[in-house]
Amino acid sequence: MMKITIDTDKPGAKINPAMWGLFFEDINFGADGGLYAELVKNRNFAFPNPLTGWHKLSPSKARGQISVLSDDPFNLHHPHYLRLQSQGTDVFGIANEGFRGIGVKAGEAYNLSLRIRGQSGTPALRVALYAENGAVLEEIELSDFASGWEQRTAVLHPRATDAKAKLYLLLVGAGAVDIDFVSLFPENTWKKRPGGLRADMVQALADLKPGFLRFPGGCIVEGSELDKRYQWKETIRPVEERPLLINRWNYEFLHRPTPDYFQTFGLGFFEYFQLCEDIGAAPLPIINCGMACQFNSGELVAMDELQPFIQDALDLIEFANGPATSQWGGKRAAMGHPEPFHLTMLGIGNEQWGPQYIERLAAFTTAIRAQHPGIQLIASCGPEPADDRFDYLWPKFRELKVDVVDEHCYARPSWFFDNTHRYDDYDRGGPKVFFGEYAAQSDKMVSVENVNNLECALSEAAFMTGLERNADIVAMASYAPLFAHKDAWQWTPDLIWVDNLSVVRTPNYYVQQIFACHRGDWTLPTEISSKDQTQPIYASATRDNEGGEVIIKIVNPGDGQEEAEIALTGSGKVQDIATAIVLAAASLDQQNTLAQPNQILPEEAAFTITGNPFVISVRPHSLTVLRVKTRVR
Ligand code: AHR
């Protein structure tokens, strides 16, 4: 039998309330085609091929023409618009395919909006939703168009649910119209905000009780070249004016090309801060430090040209926190949020390395500290958890006295099981650690074979017991990437999988959720000993102040049930009934899928405590959390 001894009256480190958080990047259709609920792809004909996502519809008797023009546009920022011209012999028009289809649900309302002007004749415009099988789900007609641009809106109510519907725009009658900015959003977005976020995806985030939300990535921060970097100021313009940028994941992996992947920034920095506020997560933006992705061009901004990049960081802080009377705080107020967003952390660069990074980081830290000494600065420690780049950077970070170091790791489950003691001997005198991107890879990094199985999830849970035990040095951690669309992903594994209608929470998701929901306030010294136990077990314990509970986490990745004797030393009477939360499955290979999303779910039950010490049977292939009420002597 294994023995777990927990000193309940010797609390160790205070655990950062924001310890377990989220990493968001627009990868795998995470934002456009995902969290940003717009259902029309290339709504403003701004893609390099202006008709990407659109298909001409021409019944046999129809005579007409489609063209893309840019003279006298509705929007000077994206001048392309569509002209539909019909001889009126039959309906004639164009269809949008959405993001791998348009997901619509029967009984729900969808808000259509478009810009239109009449050119000739008096044709009507039929707007219809067609199911994948060709059935009409809904159709309405707009008519009497002015000769200048005007916005028209309508509410569509599809008759049936379909994950791959299409939106048709058909001219009825002879004549011509100009069309631009064709948009369709579910009315039921998160908090019912017009033009908002997909409610079920945000709900999945909210249910994780995240301590922070890192944004916008990831490599997307850097850009493969500097002109493709993420520029936050562009994302707070009126939505029609936000730029279009080719998504770096459009072309990054030759084995997973996604030629229709572009960033519209409909989910921009205002929406990001608002999302953080909605789900109770501290904002953690990562800003470009004057370096493009070092896996790509590695393009550098010269040191004497770095100031605009530093100013972007300073302005972002003002946008988040400045008074409504300040320049950037005023822009936030004008967008509807006069109160500050309470930004306290900022990451400088993502996966950077080498002396060029240190030079630029030093310039950023000096300038930001001078104006905003209260902002915690996070430095990137490169892409690997241990290599020459990593070894070069850490001493430099100590010299620069950065607050937090962002470490990343994508590796086999064995790495996570083997590294549960990684932080036991870390230098406590320097910066804290943000384990800012990690995920166990069932095959290998960037392999398309990687899956979100239980083995990976349990290896992450085992590793997280090590992070938790070392909460005095490890301040935060986040799994990456967050979202993937089943028909448009580039990177696997991912925490949450979606299609156009539903969301799958992986076992890895439940591990994150369990740690966040059962965090505790203080670490408790925990010792595991065993006489005859053959398979490794991982454990950590914390104390929850409010409920006066000891929270014990035990990971048993092995095939056999384990009897564990748990001794809570230093505690007074232990209450008879505890709560046990168990995430387990018959096999380590098991996954949750869109077809079977609930194969692996946490189960909660009462657990009877027979005394102190007491014995618990730990299920094979499991993460078990036990919440025991005690009174400290
Ligand atoms: O999470 C996917 C990618 O992995 C991130 O963009 C990058 O930071 C890391 O290499």
90 alpha carbon – ligand 1 mean position (Å): 50
pLDDT > 90 in the chain, percent: 96
- Ligand 1 pocket test, pick from 248, 253, 408 with the greatest ligand atom count within 8 Å of Cβ, gives 408
Q: Residue 628: which pLDDT band, with cuts at 50, 70 and 90? A: very high
Instruction: Say yes or no to pLDDT of 590 above 80.
Output: yes
pLDDT in tens, 165-209: 999 999 999 999 999 999 999 999 999 999 999 999 999 999 999
Read off the tokens for 362.
């030093």
Mean pLDDT of 277-304: 98
Residue 489 Cβ < 6 Å to ligand 1: no
Catalytic residue flag (residue 108): no
- pLDDT at 633 (0 to 100): 42
Residue to mutate, 250, 291, 409, 410, ligand 1, most ligand atoms under 8 Å from C-beta:
410
Nearest CA to ligand 1 atom 7: 218
Buried b (16+ CB within 10 A) or exposed e, 193-224: eeebbbbebbebbeebbbbbbbbbbbbbbbbb
Task: Decide if 571 contacts 8 (C-beta within 8 A).
Answer: yes
Q: Annotated catalytic residue: which of 38, 318, 351, 437?
A: 351
Specify whether the CB–CB gap between 276 and 341 falls below 8 A: yes
Name which of 524, 514, 565, 532 is nearest 548 in CA terms.
Answer: 524
Please, what sign has the CA dihedral across residues 163, 164, 170, 176?
A: positive
Q: Is 217 in the pocket of ligand 1 (CB under 6 A)?
A: yes
CA of residue 88 relative to chain centroid, distance: 47
Short-list 95, 89, 85, CA closest to 62: 89
CA-closest residue to ligand 1 atom 9: 218
Q: Do domains 2-14+522-632 and 54-186 have the same CATH topology?
A: no
CA dist 611 → 374, 509, 616, 628 (Å): 48, 33, 11, 12
CB distance 460 to ligand 1 below 6 Å: no
The pLDDT score that the predictor gives to residue 533 is 65
CA gap 166, 633 in Å, rounded: 66
Whether 162 is in the pocket of ligand 1, judged by its Cβ within 6 Å, is no
164 falls in which pLDDT band (50, 70, 90)? very high
Which residue minimizes the CA distance to atom 8 of ligand 1?
218
Helix then strand then coil, in percent of the chain rounded to 5, is 20, 35, 45
The amino acid at residue 304 is D
Q: What is the mean pLDDT of the chain?
A: 97
* CATH code of the region 54-186: 2.60.120.260
pLDDT at 532: 67
> In whole angstroms, how large is the CA radius of gyration of the chain?
27
What distance in Å separates the CA atoms of residue 151 and residue 113, rounded to the nearest whole number? 7
* Structure tokens given for 172: 């009825």
Digit-coded pLDDT (tens) for 173-183: 999 999 999 99
* Choice from 219, 261, 441 to test ligand 1 binding pocket (greatest atom count within 8 A of CB): 219
Whether residue 300 is predicted with pLDDT greater than 60 in this model: the reply is yes
pLDDT at 624 exceeding the cut of 60: yes
Residue nearest to atom 5 of ligand 1 (CA): 218
Contact assessment for residue 377 and residue 404, using Cβ atoms and an 8 Å cutoff = yes
CB 221 within 8 A of CB 301: no
**DSSP codes joined into one string, 437-470:** EEEE-SS-TT-TT----HHHHHHHHHHHHHHHHT
Using an 8 Å Cβ cutoff, are 592 and 598 in contact?
yes
Q: Is the C-alpha dihedral spanning 335, 340, 341, 345 positive or negative?
A: positive
To the question of domain 2-14+522-632 being in CATH 2.40.37.10, the answer is no
C-beta of residue 210 within 8 angstroms of C-beta of residue 20: yes
Please tell me the distance between residue 29's alpha carbon and the centre of ligand 1 in angstroms: 14
**Structure-block tokens of residue 347:** 């990451």
| Ligand 1 geometric centre to CA of 236 (Å) | 24
The residue behind tokens 């988040």 is 320
Q: Cα–Cα–Cα angle for 232, 234, 240, nearest 5°?
A: 135
Question: What does the domain layout of the chain look like in residue ranges?
Answer: 2-14+522-632, 54-186
Q: Does ligand 1 have an atom closer than 6 angstroms to the CB of 351?
A: yes
- Strand duo 345-348 + 376-380: pairing: parallel
Atom 2 of ligand 1: nearest residue by CA position: 481
N- to C-terminal Cα separation, the chain: 28
Question: What is the structure's pLDDT at 385?
Answer: 98
To test ligand 1's pocket by mutation, which of 24, 25, 28, 489 has the most ligand atoms within 8 angstroms of CB? 25
Average pLDDT over residues 551-566: 96
Return the pLDDT at 530: 81
Distance (angstroms) between ligand 1 centre and the Cα of 347 equals 15
407 CB less than 6 Å from ligand 1?
A: no
Edge-first strand listing for the sheet containing 175-186: 64-69, 81-86, 175-186, 110-121, 150-156
> Looking at residue 531, what is its pLDDT?
67
Residue having the nearest C-alpha atom to atom 6 of ligand 1: 218
Ligand 1 center to 365 CA (angstroms): 23
Q: Is residue 201 within a helix (H) or strand (E), and if so which, with residue range? A: helix 199-206
